[in-house]
Amino acid sequence: MMTSFYTATAGAIAQEQKMDVTSNNIANASTQGFKPDKVSFADLLYTGVHGKETANSLKVGHGDRLDNTDTVFTQGSVQKTNRSLDYALPSENAFFAVRCTDGTVRFTRNGGFQLSENADGGFFLADSQGGVVLDSDGNAITVKNEDDPQNVGVYSFKNCDGLKKTGGNYLEETTASGLASVSNVKPIQGSIEESTVDLADEMTAMISAQKAFAFNAKILSISDNTMQTVNNLR
């Protein structure tokens, strides 16, 4: 009976984590350049039904756990905006570099840029959160005429699946991703990449997770009631 209790608890926790990921995807369905996350699960330990495990013995599982959360870097549709400070990337493994307000260099697919005044009275190319957009040499971009194509740096990684999401539609390089290198991909001025979230898929995943969570919660309730009944018989 204790096995069913802990198995259902593990399953409920895993489905709650899936709902958190799915909810974040849905919330960013309109975020420019956003890439959704997908979860994968792994089985927990299997043990013999009668305690002693052999090659042919019956086994019972102990639920599952969230094994990994992967960002799906598929190319989003590029929409023309005719706004000179908008830039879109036409390749999956391509990212803009931004020096954030805390001094950390992060990467993004969101090319909806704006102007930020610098100390000299001029303007830097910046993102919506105040980070300064970098060129291919890692320097801030000074804008003299916003209608002119800017020298926006584009970077790629050996393994973009190894990038780490840090919030704010930013990504950070990791040991798994490797260091950023300058890409030959040319950004498209006057256009923006839309989010690649598929609302139909995400709503289906949300319903599935909710039903699985409810099932595990029901097993928890049954296990708890059964244990109370057994204790009352003593």
Record the pTM: 0.81
pLDDT in tens, 141-200: 999 999 999 999 999 999 999 999 998 999 999 999 999 999 999 999 999 999 999 999
Q: Are 118 and 112 in contact (CB under 8 A)?
A: no
Per-residue confidence band for 121, with pLDDT thresholds at 50, 70 and 90: confident
Residue 119 DSSP code: T
Instruction: Compute the average pLDDT of residues 21-41.
Output: 93
26, 80, 29: which is closest to 193 by C-alpha? 80
Indicate the length of the chain as a whole number: 234
Dihedral sign computed on CA atoms, order 141, 73, 27, 179: negative
12-21, 41-50, 67-76, 87-96: range with highest mean pLDDT? 87-96
